[in-house]
Amino acid sequence: MSIHLRRRQQGDGKVSLYFEYYYGTSTSASGKPTQIRDYVYPGIFLNAQPKTKAEKDRNKELESLAKTIKAQMEVDLKKSQFGYKQAKGKGIQLLEYFNDQLNSRKESAGNFGNWRGALKHLTDYVTKHYYPALPLEAVDAGFMEGYKAYLTSTAKTTALNPLTSSSQNSYFAKLKACLKQAVKDDLLLRNPAEGVSLPRIVSTQRSYLTHEELQQLAKTECHYDVLKRAFLFSCLTGLRWSDIHKLLWKEVEVLGDGWRIVFRQKKTKGLQYLDISEQARSLLGEQRGADDRVFAGLSYSTSMNYALHQWMLRAGITKHITFHCARHTFATLQIYYGTDFFTLSKMLGHSELKTTMIYAQIIDSKRLEAANRIPLLPL
């Protein structure tokens, strides 16, 4: 058995590269010899008549890629001949498989949004530097390093701004998770992302609201009442968006003269018991069925994000505030008003105290500001 790289002239001025598996010959019942072949079309197309240097260079890149894929196919073939496991992912396209992984996360709105953003940038990279039908088996360490460089130096947001380091890290992690799943599904023999580190997250200042800003915000109208209630609830409880979004009425319990929420965190999967104030309870609204969502109508969308931004501006708040800043606001205000870090760590559902200690830097800066508020003395 052998593998050959073949060419076929297309009618649209392109040349299709494809692979031919030659299995040898067999003899039919009539005694006639028949050659046995199989074909794999990876979707690689050359310019049949390249004129510019860019077109010629592009042809060379694609031919080199096809040869790399052929070499990997031959390695897989040798392994199968000697009894090694052979991957089942031949011909499966990277972008199609990634999209399947995306669709499997539709029940998790926040996570789905992150995967959707990751797919956009992966598609941009694959289309620009390879070709849309790039097969899974063509992804190697070089591809991963190239994609990492693309995210950190070239990729832009919809507003044409560079990606934040956390977005770079998150999008790259999604591809690593996708390839890890491909190995589990026996589509790849090994994960080409192993050994390729994630883009480093650069620590940035965490935005939060002061108590005065929070008071002003509470008095200001928001286009979506459910968004206003959910955001203020997060400011008073520290709950993440993902946990607020999925919160059910059966998770809200009466505890003596107060209220408690018992839920499983979306991020860590850990069970958490969170006591909430009477004011926080009032933001939940009128109680409905046990399996009904508390904040029905709350969704992760462009319109909601825009409404949050406009709400801030109407309240006179010009700093960049996202929904997650409500959690930072809760943590900062708790420390500012005397809550110790150990207690706060439990309230935030952190598994390690060091995660909570990041807020110490914020409070230290606030103390410095407070120390400098006293007018200078005429010394």
CATH number of the domain bearing residue 292: 1.10.443.10
Indicate whether 224 and 175 sit together in one domain. Answer: no
Q: Does residue 192 have a pLDDT over 80?
A: yes
Report the number of distinct structural domains present in the chain: 3
Indicate whether 363 and 230 sit together in one domain. Answer: yes
Say how far residue 80 (Cα) sits from the centre of its chain: 35
Give percent of the chain with pLDDT exceeding 90. Answer: 38
- Compute φ and ψ for 119, nearest 5 degrees: -65, -40
pLDDT tens by residue, 230-265: 999 999 999 999 899 999 999 999 888 889 999 887
**Predicted pLDDT at 83:** 42
Q: Report yes or no: 91 and 40 within 8 Å, Cβ to Cβ.
A: yes
**Predicted pLDDT at 90:** 63
Q: Does residue 85 have a pLDDT over 60?
A: no
Q: Amino acid identity of 55?
A: E
Q: Is residue 203 in a domain? A: no
User: Stretch 201-217: mean pLDDT, rounded?
Assistant: 86
Q: Amino acid identity of 331?
A: A
pLDDT tens by residue, 122-170: 999 998 888 788 888 888 888 899 999 999 999 998 778 888 888 899 9
Tell me which of 31-45, 187-201, 285-299 is least confident.
31-45
| Confidence bin at 367 (pLDDT 50/70/90) | low
Indicate whether 123 and 267 sit together in one domain. Answer: no
Indicate whether 103 and 245 sit together in one domain. Answer: no
**Predicted pLDDT at 96:** 92
| Confidence bin at 328 (pLDDT 50/70/90) | very high
**Predicted pLDDT at 203:** 67
Q: Which residue has the tokens 């009894």?
A: 83
Of the residues 55, 81, 107, the one at which a domain ends: 81
**Contacts by residues 181-184 (CB-CB < 8 Å, ≥ 24 positions apart):** 181/101, 182/89, 182/97, 182/136
**Predicted pLDDT at 84:** 41
Structure tokens at 359: 């807020």
**Summary mean pLDDT of the chain:** 85
Q: Alpha-carbon Rg of the chain, whole angstroms?
A: 28
Q: Across-strand partners of 15?
A: 9, 46
- Compute φ and ψ for 132, nearest 5 degrees: -55, -35
Comparing 24 with 11, the larger pLDDT belongs to 11
Say how far residue 275 (Cα) sits from the centre of its chain: 31
DSSP for residue 276 = E
**Predicted pLDDT at 297:** 92
Q: Is residue 376 in a domain? A: no
Task: Please choose, from the candidates 233, 170, 244, the residue with its C-alpha nearest in 3D space to the C-alpha of residue 201.
Answer: 170
Structure tokens at 313: 């501006």
Indicate whether 76 and 105 sit together in one domain. Answer: no
Q: What is the pTM of this model?
A: 0.51
Longest dimension (CA), the chain: 115
Q: Is residue 240 in a domain? A: yes
Indicate whether 326 and 273 sit together in one domain. Answer: yes
Domain of residue 328: give its range.
Answer: 211-371
Strand segments (E) across the chain: 2-9, 14-27, 33-47, 252-255, 258-264, 271-276
Residues whose CB is less than 8 angstroms from the CB of residue 300 and which lie 6 or more positions away in sequence, other chains included: 109, 110, 112, 113, 241, 245
Q: Across-strand partners of 27?
A: 33
User: Stretch 300-316: mean pLDDT, rounded?
Assistant: 92
Q: At what angle do helices 302-314 and 225-237 cross, to 10 degrees?
A: 70
Indicate whether 135 and 270 sit together in one domain. Answer: no
Residues 158, 161, 167, 168, CA torsion sign = positive
- Compute φ and ψ for 253, nearest 5 degrees: -120, 150
What is the rounded end-to-end Cα distance, in angstroms, of the chain? 94
Q: What span, in angstroms and rounded, lies between the C-alpha atoms of 377 and 248?
A: 57
Q: What span, in angstroms and rounded, lies between the C-alpha atoms of 256 and 97?
A: 51
Indicate whether 317 and 260 sit together in one domain. Answer: yes
User: Stretch 14-29: mean pLDDT, rounded?
Assistant: 76
**Predicted pLDDT at 311:** 97
Indicate whether 225 and 175 sit together in one domain. Answer: no
Q: What span, in angstroms and rounded, lies between the C-alpha atoms of 125 and 202?
A: 23
Say how far residue 322 (Cα) sits from the centre of its chain: 17
Pairing status of strand 14-27 against strand 33-47: antiparallel
Q: Is residue 193 in a domain? A: no
Indicate whether 222 and 352 sit together in one domain. Answer: yes
Strands lying side by side in the sheet with 33-47: 2-9, 14-27, 33-47
**Predicted pLDDT at 372:** 62
